[in-house]
Amino acid sequence: MAENIKATPLEDVMVAMDVVDTLRHQQDLADRELDDQGRRARLLERLRDLYAAQGIDVPDHVLTEGIDALEQERFQYKPVTQSWRTKLAHLWVSRTRWGKPVGFLAIIGSLFSGVYVATDVLPARQLRNELPVQLEASMDSIRANALNPEIVDNALRRANSVKAALQEDRVDDAQGALAEIERVEKILQTRYSVRVVARKGEKSGVWRVPEVNESARNYYLIVEAIGDDNRPIELDILDEETNQRKAVKTWGLRVNEQTFYKVATDKRDDGIIQNNKIGEKPVGYLRPNFSIPTTGGTITRW
């Protein structure tokens, strides 16, 4: 049959296709007549009449070819079976519709990815490489300057915390522990004297009523650290009321009531505190040695 179709003139093939289309539109007629050879003959006769009524002369062999084609579903469209290949082909054909939005999103994604790498990944990687070097340098300085073995022991414990945090990829924790070690290193290298503030117009002392005991008072002298150049030094002071550190040039040092009023009386006499130097912090130590009684408690606001 295939060889016959190839040899059939194009005009006959086109008419045969029209015959098939006509039969599909009259499917109930085809279903009734396409049962046996006798009914095929009746269908052929009806097709002759149908085309003759339209003024079209169709040869019987072309009508027969159309009937055969309908039975064999030769000219019937059959959808392509869906597969990953056909889906990929459909996506490619429709690329003009989705290509620009997807391309735009891809560009935005690349930009965000680049920013993330530049602001998070690379700095974190650099820190992981730099922190061990900084840690070793700070520890060498502490060992060289500390005059109290306990200071070195505490620094070693913090150093182990830095190393453990780096091994667990906790860079922020490692930075925090290293910052504390570097703070100790800086204090050890610093020498200053502690003096009560005695400038005109500035307070030399304050007292506070603690929240836990309203019948009590906490007394503080307002002090400052003076360096070798006779200038105030900014120090990192822990506020015992807020438990937060703050970099300040003046702070309150807690003393007893007797010491507080002794300094107040000295200042009230002539506006000058005769003995305003109350402590000395040498290199190699973390805390000053005070010449007055003090708990060592401090505040940074009043």
**Distance set, CA 259 to CA 206, 210, 268 (Å):** 12, 19, 14
What is the reported pLDDT for 252? 98
pTM of model > 0.95: no
Q: Is the pLDDT of residue 9 over 70?
A: no
Alpha-carbon Rg of the chain, whole angstroms? 49
> For 14-18, 68-72, 101-105, 260-264, which range has the lowest pLDDT when averaged over its residues?
14-18
- Note the pLDDT tens digit of each residue in 14-71: 655 666 566 655 555 555 555 555 666 777 777 777 777 777 777 777 777 767 766 6
C-beta separation of 246 from 298 below 8 A:
no
**Distance set, CA 193 to CA 123, 145, 172, 289, 290 (Å):** 40, 18, 35, 9, 10
Cβ neighbourhood burial of 244 (10 Å; 0-12, 13-18, 19+)? exposed
CA atoms within 13 A on the CB side of 26: 15
Q: How many CB atoms lie within 10 A of CB 71?
A: 13
Give the pLDDT band (50/70/90) at residue 214: confident
**Angle 171-189/122-145 helices, nearest 10 degrees?**
30
- Note the pLDDT tens digit of each residue in 266-297: 888 788 898 899 999 999 999 999 999 999 99
Instruction: Report d(CA 124, CA 265) in Å as an integer.
Output: 57
CA atoms within 13 A on the CB side of 167: 6
The residue among 210 and 80 whose pLDDT is bigger is 210
Which spans in 73-148 are helix H?
A: 84-93, 95-116, 122-145
What is the reported pLDDT for 119? 63
CA atoms within 13 A on the CB side of 193: 12
Q: Is the pLDDT of residue 146 over 50?
A: yes
Instruction: Report d(CA 157, CA 282) in Å as an integer.
Output: 24
Q: Is the pLDDT of residue 132 over 70?
A: yes
Collapse the DSSP code of 92 into the 3-class scheme (helix H, G, I; strand E, B; otherwise coil) and give the result.
helix
Q: Which two three-digit tokens encode residue 210?
A: 């603690």
